[in-house]
Structure 1
Amino acid sequence: MGEFPWEHAMALGVGVLRLSPKDFWSMTPRELERAMSVHFGRAPAAPKRSEFAALMAAYPDK
């Protein structure tokens, strides 16, 4: 796992979400994630094991 992308997080928080630096730095990572999800939408959930198995059966490696 690499370093946390602070420059991107700050650009998003202060630039896109228009948070003050004080508000940005007082947020928890979970609060920042929630604020991002309101703006960009939530990422889709990972497929369930049965859904993944169905995809593997439908599209096997060759």
Structure 2
Amino acid sequence: MNAAAGADASQDARPFPWGQVIHAGLSLLRLSPTVFWALTPIEFFAMTGGMRPRRDELDRGGLEGLMRAFPDG
């Protein structure tokens, strides 16, 4: 599998965040361990909001426009 990913794939690899994933599944979503471990990665991704459409980020010009439209004080 590593050969298919390319020679540089191991340099950018980070450990999988098991602690965060387990916390989200068991604590935040309140899934039972049986249901949690039966999920596919795409199901977990969808349950944690990964399928929501991304909104455009506010750039500097947009922020300045909001500051002009709604000044403090």
Give the alignment's TM-score, normalised by structure 2.
0.52
Compute the RMSD of aligned alpha carbons.
Answer: 2.2
Question: Which structure is larger by alpha-carbon Rg, 1 or 2?
Answer: 2
Higher-helix-fraction structure: 1
Q: CA shift at 1:41, angstroms?
A: 7.3
**Structure 1: tracts of 5 or more residues without a match:** 46-62
| Residue identity matched to 2:21 | A
Percent of aligned pairs with the same amino acid: 35
Question: Are 1:30 and 2:42 matched, yes or no?
Answer: yes
In 2, Cα distance between the equivalents of 1:30 and 1:10? 15
Structure 1 runs (4+) deviating above 6 angstroms are: none
**Structure 2: tracts of 5 or more residues without a match:** 1-12, 56-73
